[in-house]
A = this chain, B = another copy of it.
Amino acid sequence: MNSLLTMNELQVREINEILKDAHSFAEGRQWAPGKKLFVANLFFEPSTRTKSSFEVAERRLGLDVIHFDAETSSVQKGETLYDTAKTLQSIGVGALVIRHEQDRYFDELKGKLNIPVINAGDGCGNHPTQSLLDLLTIQQEFGSLRRLKIAIIGDIRHSRVARSNADALSRLGAEVVFSGPKEWMDFSLESGSYENIDSAIKTADVVMLLRIQHERHSGDSSAPDGDYLSSFGMTKERERSMKPKAIIMHPAPVNRGMEIDSELVECDRSRIFKQMENGVFVRMAVLKRAFEKAEGGNIYEAHNQKWFVAN
């Protein structure tokens, strides 16, 4: 069984395997496990796109999705995450997809379940399938990540995406720079250096805008004052200054008129909705990996898995 918890634990070779499988899914190839498999999506934080994207990915693989509503679950009665997860395993669920507001919630589960866990976001920490879909989108555009300059802009400190991405991008050969309000930089990150916003946008091949996480800033005096769009956002003027083939990315949901001028959300350079499309393919690849290599003792092991061409 192959959990996916953080990007750091993936070797470059494994990242490339996942991306290759995702490419295959994008081209219409199909894969299905050899038997009926249940999966549960445990989202302890609101989300449209990640949850729906996982659900579409699961259904396309022919998995059976068990509905789990965190709001009305026994977690409300004080049950631990471990007991909830073990319960789902006991009733026959073959994999768990979990989003949780607590950083590294999965440490509580490690080595204690015999079904894979796929991390759909933990606190301000990791969001590996988001990183992978970003990588896929860049790879589709430029063939390789080698020698690309990638500017990550915005709320680095609270961003799952920034942390998951920066290291992976570096390991795959890209140069990463950060920009945005100084209050929101995280100088503890090992990969990437700080660059002035205008210069970063002008010289990057890929500009990755981050969401302003309003819901994480309630009562936070570190939020920058003034007009965010003109100071640190993608204005029409900055867009015009970009290199000819450079692209714009954003994990969404977009705060229109803040991180990006509303009219640029679907401009020629924008890959924002392409990223969402790719999210499904990446998640299919991650789920395939989870079941495919499931170890012997697991009754949910997929036997007859094989690739076949979509008709």
CB-based closest 7 A-B pairs: A90-B276, A79-B253, A48-B74, A46-B72, A48-B73, A74-B253, A90-B273
How far is A93 from B87 in the complex, measured between Cα atoms in Å? 28
Q: Is the CB of B88 within 8 A of A52?
A: yes
Tell whether, in the assembled complex, residue A66 and residue B55 are in contact, meaning their CB atoms are under 8 Å apart: yes
Kindly state whether residue A64 has any CB partner on chain B within 8 Å.
yes
Contact of A48 (CB < 8 Å), options: B65, B87, B279, B280:
B87
Give how many copies assemble into the complex: 3
Decide if A139 is an interface residue (CB 8 Å cutoff): no
| Distance of A236 Cα from B48 Cα, bound (Å) | 46
Other CB < 8 Å A-B pairs besides A36-B59, A83-B254, A91-B280, 17 of them?
A36-B60, A43-B72, A46-B72, A46-B73, A48-B73, A48-B79, A49-B91, A52-B67, A52-B87, A52-B91, A52-B93, A71-B71, A77-B214, A78-B253, A79-B253, A87-B253, A90-B273
In the assembly, what is the distance between CA of A83 and CA of B214, in Å?
18
Expressed in whole angstroms, the minimum distance between the Cβ of A225 and any Cβ of chain B is 20
- A-B contacts, 6 listed (Cβ < 8 Å): A47-B73, A48-B88, A56-B93, A87-B253, A90-B273, A92-B277
A191 CA / B56 CA spacing, docked (Å): 44
The reply to whether B36 and A91 contact each other, CB–CB distance below 8 Å, is no
